[in-house]
Amino acid sequence: MEMTGGLAVILGGIGMFLFGMKIMTEALREAAGARLRQLLARFTTTPLAGVLTGTAATAVVQSSSATTVMTIGFVGAGLLTFPQALGVIYGANIGTTVTGWIVTLLGFKLQLGSVALPALFGASLLTLLAQGGWARTGRVAAGLCLLFIGLDMMQTGAAGFGAWLTPQTLPQGGVWGDLQLMLLGLAVTVVMQSSSAAMAVALVLLGAGGISFEQAAAMVIGMNLGTTITAVLASLGGSVTMRQTALANVLFNLGTAILAYPLLVFTGTVLTQVADRVGETTALVLFHTGFNVVGALIFLPFTARFALWVEKVVPERPDGALAGGLVADLDPALLKDEGAAMDAAQAAFGRVARHVFSALGRALAPVPDMRGLATIEEVARPALIEIEHYITRINLPEGKPAERDRYAALLHQTDHLARLLKRLERRSMVAVLLDDPGLSRLSRALGATLRRAADPARDGLEAARLARLSDRIEARTRRHRRATLLHEHVGLISVAEMFDRTDAMRWLRRVAEHAARIAHYSATVPGIKAAAPVAPGPRD
C-alpha cells in the first residue's frame, strides 16, 4: 500500500513538474520571443555563433523545441542558411541541460519546494489580476513554483520506494545492461514528451538511492536521444525544412550518444571522483552538459558537409513553379510561435508576389510574353488562398503591438495581391496599353520595374521605385484621359476606342498602385523587424 501511495505521489509530482514547465516556457517565450528572434537572426552568422545563440535562447525560454521552431521559420524565410540553423540546433541541445542545473542547484541544494507553496499564491494573484508584462511575470513565477512543488512531491514519493527500487532492480554492468538503461531513458522521455522532466525523475531517483550514478548516466544518454522523437513526430507531413531539421537533430543526438557512451566507460572513475566531491546529482548534470558540448565541438567543423548530406537525403520538392512549391514552408508546426509563423507566411507571400510581378513584367516587356499571366489563376490564386488560410490560424498574444503591426501588414499585402489578381483577369488591357503611344512607355517602365522586383537576389520588392512610378502613372493617366476625351470629341478616335483607352488607363493606374502597396507593406516587415506604421491603400 505504501508503494502504491508513493507511486501516486511520484506521478502527481511528474504531472505538476510538466505543467509547471509548460506554463513557464510559454510565458518566457511570449515575454522574450521577439528579442530572442532578433538575437538568433542577428548573431547567427556562422554555425559557431549559432551554437552560442541557440544555447542562450534555449536557456532563456527553457524549451529546445521553441528555439528549433524559430530556427525553422528563419530558414524557410531565407533569414538563415541550413548550416547556420544546424549550429542553433547544436546549441539548443546544450541549452536544454540548463533545466537540470535549475533542479539540482535550486530544487535540491536550496530546497525551494516549501518556499514555492506560498510563492505560488502570490504568483497566481499576479497572473489573475495583472495584465500584459506583469501577468506574464506571474505565469513564469507560477510555473517555476509548480516545478519545485512537483520536484518536492517526486522526492517524497521516491522515499517510499526504498525497499522496492534499488540499483539491483534495474539492469547493470556490461554493454547489454547499459543499452537497456539507455532504451529505458529513451522510453521515459518519449512517454513524457519532455527530456527536462525525464532528467528530473533521474535526478530524484539518484538522490533517493534508487539508481546508481552509472545507471543514471546511461539513462541520461537515452533521454538525450529520446528528446528528438517529438521533433520527428511534428515533422511528419511538414515542410521540407522541418523534416531536414528533424533528421539533423536525430543524427546529431545519435552521434552525441555514440560519443557519450565511450566517455562514460573510459572516464567512469573520474566521474565517480567528481560525484564524491560535488555530489552525484551535480555530477550527473555536469555529464549531461559535458557530452552535449563535446558533441557540438566535434560536429562543428563538419557542419557544411553535414548540411549538404541532410539536404540530399531530404531534397527540396521539384515543384517550385507550382502553387504547392510557392507555399511549401507554411508548416502548421510553426504556428506554435507567432513570429516564426509570420516569417513563413511572409516568405511564402514574397514568392507568390514575385511570381505575379514576373508574369506581369514579362507581359509589359518590349516583346510581350503573355504566358505567365495565363498561369496566374492556376498558380498564384490557390497559393494566395493557402496563405490567407494560414494567416487566420496565427494566434497573437496580448501586449505585443509590434507583432500586431506585422500581422496587419501581412493582411494588407494579401488584400492588395488579391485585388491585383482580380485586375489581371482583364489581360486584354495589356495590348491596349502597349498600342497607345502615350502610355506604352510608362507601361514598359512598370514592366521593367516589376521584373527587377521579381528578382529574388534583390533586397525587398523595389518599394521606393514602384511608389515613385505609381505617382508618375497617376499624374500621366489623368492628363492623358483628358486628351483622349478631347480626341474623341473632335472625331480623331471612335467612342469604342475612347472607352478602351480610358479603361486601360484606369487598369494601369490601379495595377501600379496595388504593386506599390504590396512592395510597401512587404518592406515594413523585412524578416524579424517590427512593422512600421502602414500607409493607406489605393481607392477602388
All domains of the chain in start order, with CATH: 2-313 (no CATH), 323-523 (1.20.58)
* Torsion-angle region of 44 (φ positive above 0: left; ψ -120 to 50: alpha; else: beta): beta
464 vs 528, more confident:
464
According to the model, what pLDDT value does residue 535 have?
A: 37
- Residue-wise pLDDT tens digits, 200-248: 888 888 888 888 888 888 999 998 888 888 777 767 766 787 788 888 9
Q: From 533, 390, 525, select the one nearest 34 (Cα to Cα).
A: 525
- Residue-wise pLDDT tens digits, 47-70: 888 898 888 888 887 777 777 777
Judged against a pLDDT cut of 60, whether residue 324 lies above it is answered with no
Least confident interval from 57-66, 151-160, 172-181, 453-462 = 453-462
According to the model, what pLDDT value does residue 526 have?
A: 46
CA distances from 351 to 296, 347, 491 (A): 34, 6, 47
CA distances from 270 to 210, 287, 443 (A): 22, 11, 77
Judged against a pLDDT cut of 70, whether residue 450 lies above it is answered with yes
Mean confidence (pLDDT) of the chain? 81
The structure's pTM equals 0.74
According to the model, what pLDDT value does residue 534 have?
A: 34
520 vs 484, more confident:
520
Q: From 321, 322, 308, 315, select the one nearest 241 (Cα to Cα).
A: 315
